[in-house]
Amino acid sequence: MSTSTTDLTHGHDDDAVKVPLLERIPGRGSAAAWPLGLAGVLILVGGTFLSWSYTSDVLGDLSVDFYPNGVQICMIALGVAALLFLLAHRGPLHRFGEWLDTAAAVRVLGLGAVAYMVITLGIIAYQSGGLVNINPGGWISLLGALLLAASGLMLVSRQHRDPLFAKTSSWLEISTIVVLMALVLFGAAYALDIGDGGSFLLFLLFVSAVALALTRAGAFTWVGLIAQKNRPVLMLGAFAVAFLFPFTQGGSDENMSIATQVLIFAATALGLNIVVGLAGLLDLGYIAFLGAGAYVGAVLSASAFATIDWKPPFIVVVLVGALFSAMLGLIIGSPTLRVSGDYLAIVTLAFGEIFRFTMGNLDGSNGPDITNGPNGIPAIPDLAIGSFDFGQPHTIAGITLGRFANYYFLLLLIAAIIILVFTRLNNSRIGRGWVAIREDEKAAEAMGVNVFGLKLFAFAGGAFLAGMAGTVKAHHDVSVTPDQYIFLESAFLLAAIVLGGMGTVAGVIVGATILKLLPEKLRFIADYRLLIFGLVLVLMMRFRPEGLIASHRRKLEFHEDDEELAQRIEAVHLEETEVKA
């Protein structure tokens, strides 16, 4: 199995246990598997061109023949992916199949298709009152999915070469990155446009199935390697995608308002990731630093309710907000960072609450009137930098960009700064010091690392970045009140990091997007979202404690006894150093 262990499979390989079980299924390895898979794909895709539902109001409209809608197109895409893997398994794409565990990919896609079809038909039956409302197309596609799954279970994984050592030309690598980026942009725009919760859930299932299939096949090992190799291209591509996103929205503010919220959340989580992911400090009151920045932004704004008469230009406000936050970080950090982890968590938790109560009490009757107490500071005017008014729509190349799109670009800049700070600090003397502290604080101290200084720097630096984001948030939100900065928000920031992956940029962005986007799109689970997130986190802790996209080092830290993983990661590291050189 060692050759098929990839980045995203679990460190402890439980396939070793599964294989004997699968071996007992009759027909495993039979020659019929491959043709069966092809037939499955044909039937699955064929079914999508027929209507799935009798009524036209379920999951968009599934009642029209020969006009597949989004839910059906997902199945077509999945079918095409399965076809490609089947052809790579045996057929014209054999050359690629040599490097991939194609059987595992077909298996995952088949099982994913079955789950997808069952849920889809279930929703149709439930919403329109009975199985009778399912049209033949739906049953045909389900049959195709079942055949594909059976084929996947019958196919035997062939011995394949490790994709880590695949030597590929740079045009292939760069075009892969471009295609992936384009898919991300297209997928994000599409997902945001989905109206109903059911379709969104199905889209999520589709994306997960394809991602898991690629992981199982080992494709992400190669993607991870080329991402390391072509880092500038990747970064440029990612920012191009993020930059182009507002242009796909046709001037609509609805999705852009969600996007800006995701961006604020992600930027703050990235700042927290310096504290938690790099320096290894548990901070449970991080939202207070965002709040401190927001209050500075509000108090120094042109709002009629602002209590301070000084109205500096915005760039100065950003700096003041960031410095004020950093100062709070220093004040709270210098007495507490000398003690070990648990105490820090409690102190920061209390600090978050103290901040909120203080802001609620600085209302003139309990203290100086700075924050207007629980009423907060409303009516914060939109930013205007030079002649650019953030409140007004602008038209660029015929595409109108509304108010939220304007803030989106500014927040993108802030996120870029935070990412830059994060990655550069990570790969520096300071970053090495942080790793050493996480590994063995005493040994680090005995080797001359300034443990306290580095911890305080992480704490204050993280606060600085959150303060910066906070000043923009004040203008974006129009009003600042104490109850926006409750403990739950800090907990969500931490959850984004744990879910996404400690110590990586991509992981935190994914985690933040999931945590912010899901409640927006799945309104029907809004009441249960805490329950669901709690459950997800428990499952993550059990099966993938390092998060979805974890750094090598963090993965190693979470699997102290896994020798095989350590050897594998060393091999990946060696290969990465080699391709970079």
Partner 1 sequence: MTLTDTPPARVPTAVGKPILEARGVTMRFGGLTAVKDVDMTVNEGEIVGLIGPNGAGKTTFFNCLTGLYKPTEGQVTLSGDVLPPKPRAVVVAGMARTFQNIRLFANMTALENVMVGRYCRTSSMALTSILRGPKFRREEEATRARAQELLDFVGLGGSTESLARNMPYGDQRRLEIARALATDPKLILLDEPTAGMNPQETKQASDLIFRIRDSGLAVVVIEHDMRFIFNLCDRVLCLVRGEVLVEGTPGEVQSDPRVIEAYIGGGDDDDEDEGPATTKETL
**392 — phi, psi (to 5°)?**
-100, 145
List beta partners, residue 369. Answer: 363
Q: Which is nearer to partner 1, 138 or 461 (CB)?
A: 461
The angle formed by the CA atoms of residues 418, 420 and 423, to the nearest 5 degrees, is 105
Listing DSSP states for 99-161 in one string gives: TS-HHHHHHHHHHHHHHHHHHHHHHHHHHHTSGGGB-HHHHHHHHHHHHHHHHHHHS-PPP--
Task: Figure out which of the listed residues 421, 478, 537, 579 binds partner 1, where binding follows CB under 8 A.
Answer: 421
331-345: buried (b, 16+ CB within 10 Å) or exposed (e) per residue?
ebbeebbeeeeeebb
Q: Which stretch binds partner 1 (CB under 8 A): 39-47, 91-99, 103-111, 554-562?
A: 554-562
The least CB distance from residue 535 to partner 1, in Å, is: 30
Report the nearest approach of partner 1 to the CB of residue 141 (Å): 47
**Least CB distance from residue 421 to partner 1, whole Å?**
6
Distances (CA, A) of 418 to 38, 273, 412, 498, 547: 48, 10, 10, 19, 21
The Cα 285–Cα 289 span in angstroms is 8
DSSP code, position 194: -
The C-alpha R_g of the chain, in whole angstroms, comes to 26
Q: What angle do CA 258, 263, 267 make, to 5 degrees?
A: 155
- From the list 446, 527, 542, 580, which residue makes contact with partner 1 (rule: CB under 8 A)? 446
| Among the listed residues 161, 424, 532, 543, the single contact to partner 1 using CB under 8 A | 424
Total residues binding partner 1 (CB under 8 A): 38
Instruction: For residue 274, give the DSSP letter.
Output: I
Q: Which stretch binds partner 1 (CB under 8 A): 90-98, 161-169, 302-310, 559-567?
A: 559-567
Give the list of residues 6+ apart from residue 177 with CB closer than 8 angstroms, or none.
226, 227, 230, 233, 234, 237
Query: Residue 382, interface with partner 1 (CB under 8 A)?
Result: no
Is there binding between residue 327 and partner 1 (CB under 8 A)? Answer: no
Part of the chain binding partner 1 (CB under 8 A), chosen from 53-61, 103-111, 437-445, 534-542: 437-445
Based on the shown chain and the rule CB under 8 A, indicate whether residue 334 belongs to the binding site for partner 1. Answer: no
In the bound complex, what is the minimum distance in angstroms from residue 558's beta carbon to partner 1?
Answer: 10
Q: Which is nearer to partner 1, 403 or 438 (CB)?
A: 438
Say whether residue 444 binds partner 1 (CB under 8 A): yes
User: Is residue 13 classed exposed, middle or buried when 0-12, 13-18 and 19+ CB atoms within 10 A define those classes?
Assistant: middle
Nearer to partner 1, 150 or 267 (CB): 267
Among 14, 57, 440, 483, binds partner 1 (CB under 8 A): 440
Any contact of residue 577 with partner 1 (CB under 8 A)? yes
Name the phi and psi angles at 191, rounded to 5: -60, -40
Closest approach of partner 1 to the CB of residue 554, in Å: 9
- How far apart, in Å, are the Cα atoms of 403 and each of 279, 357, 408, 567? 37, 32, 9, 51
Q: Does 569 bind partner 1 (CB under 8 A)?
A: yes
The residue from 394, 445, 478, 525 that contacts partner 1 (CB under 8 A) is 445
461 binds partner 1 (CB under 8 A): yes
Among 449, 456, 480, 491, binds partner 1 (CB under 8 A): 449
Q: Residue 552 Cβ, how far from partner 1 at the closest point, in Å?
A: 8
CB of 226 to partner 1, least distance (A): 19
Binding site for partner 1 (CB under 8 A): 420-421, 424-425, 428-433, 435-436, 439-440, 442-451, 457, 461, 553, 556-557, 560, 563, 566-567, 569-570, 573-574, 577
